[in-house]
Amino acid sequence: MWVYYQLAATIQAVNAQQLQQLLSAVAGGEMSVTEAVSRLRSLPFEQLPFATLDHHRSLRCGHPEVIFCAGKTSQQVVEIASKLGRDGGRVLATRASAEHLAAIQQAFPEAMIDSPARAALINPPEVVDPSPTRPPVGVVSAGTSDGPVAAEALITLRSMSVPAIPITDVGIAGLHRLLHHVPILQSCCAIVAIAGMEGALPSVVGGLVACPVFAVPTSVGYGANLSGLAPLFAMLNSCASNVTVVNIDNGFGAAMAASLVHQQILRHIK
């Protein structure tokens, strides 16, 4: 018993499944006590020369830490991914350059690489289909030019095992295209609405559904778009009371917020 007490005392709160696996490995002689203690010490966080990895993010926030690749070398991204995904956990890397993606693909041949999204998903979970107990999140984009932001939202939802329904190129310049999808939109538990230009799409969507709409302004548009500021201000001034706005081109942030809505629904169903 002292062995298990020694192991458990090295950490205040760990993932129950990880702790059970470690203790089982020690009990079965597959891992030494010294090695297990070392592994436990890295469960809350792990210090690297260039980063401090938060292994408890999923326990606190409902999702694991995500690698923001911008400003990091390819070697740093791969090393962080190796640590975060050490026990088969999913690892999402966002805002990755072509060099980042190539390095991830070489280090993790089974990784899901999404070049338009500038993202990669290591150890991706199975695709989850919508059902009465797992309502989908809709990802609605106004134009084809908004596709990269929508792709980032979709791979983020995939990393969270959230069923997602993409609806593309339904901007308000042809409103009938959006209205065709109203029954699908009304079946969603949350919607990510993505638009550049004048940014009117989220307000229209918000007036059609009874769920949160996470609006994403994009830097797509002519000069007066101001690299996304024009749709950002338009969305902030939305008259639809269920619209919440994230930053310009932040498909990841909107999808993460929508995934937490989905998680809360699952928690109450269970």
The yes-or-no verdict on residue 32 having pLDDT over 90 is: no
Domain co-membership, 217 together with 150: yes
Domain co-membership, 257 together with 229: yes
Domain co-membership, 107 together with 150: no
Query: What is the tens place of the pLDDT at every residue in 94-111?
Result: 999 999 999 999 999 999
Angle between helices 33-41 and 16-27 (to 10 degrees): 170
**What domain count does the chain have?**
3
Backbone dihedral angles phi then psi of residue 226, each to the nearest 5 degrees: 55, 45
Residue 197 φ/ψ region, left for φ over 0, alpha for ψ in the -120 to 50 degree band, beta for the rest = left
Domain co-membership, 158 together with 239: yes
Domain co-membership, 101 together with 180: no
Reference 201, options 231, 242, 181; nearest CA is 231
Domain co-membership, 196 together with 258: yes
Instruction: Name 28's Cβ contacts closer than 8 Å, sequence gap at least 6.
Output: none
Measured distance CA(211)–CA(258) in Å, rounded = 10
Q: Which residue has the tokens 């999923």?
A: 58
Measured distance CA(263)–CA(161) in Å, rounded = 10
pLDDT at 38: 67
Reported confidence tier of residue 41, pLDDT bands at 50, 70, 90 = low
Domain co-membership, 105 together with 198: no
User: Is 129 inside a domain boundary?
Assistant: no
pLDDT at 200: 95
Domain co-membership, 110 together with 148: no
User: Is 14 inside a domain boundary?
Assistant: yes
Residue 220 sits in a domain whose CATH number is 3.40.50.1970
User: Is 128 inside a domain boundary?
Assistant: no
pLDDT at 17: 62
Domain that holds residue 147: 137-269
Domain co-membership, 109 together with 207: no
Domain co-membership, 111 together with 190: no
Burial (CB count within 10 angstroms: exposed 0-12, middle 13-18, buried 19+), residue 130: middle
User: Is 130 inside a domain boundary?
Assistant: no
Q: Report yes or no: 133 and 108 within 8 Å, Cβ to Cβ.
A: no
Domain co-membership, 39 together with 58: no
Domain co-membership, 102 together with 161: no
Measured distance CA(1)–CA(109) in Å, rounded = 41
How far is the CA of 99 from the CAs of 77, 115, 128, 134, 251, in angstroms?
11, 11, 30, 36, 21
For all residues of the chain together, what is the average pLDDT? 88
User: Is 26 inside a domain boundary?
Assistant: yes
Reference 149, options 162, 163, 137, 166; nearest CA is 166
Q: Report yes or no: 59 and 32 within 8 Å, Cβ to Cβ.
A: no
Query: What is the tens place of the pLDDT at every residue in 57-66?
Result: 877 777 888 9
Last residue of a domain, one of 122, 157, 182: 122
Measured distance CA(189)–CA(258) in Å, rounded = 8
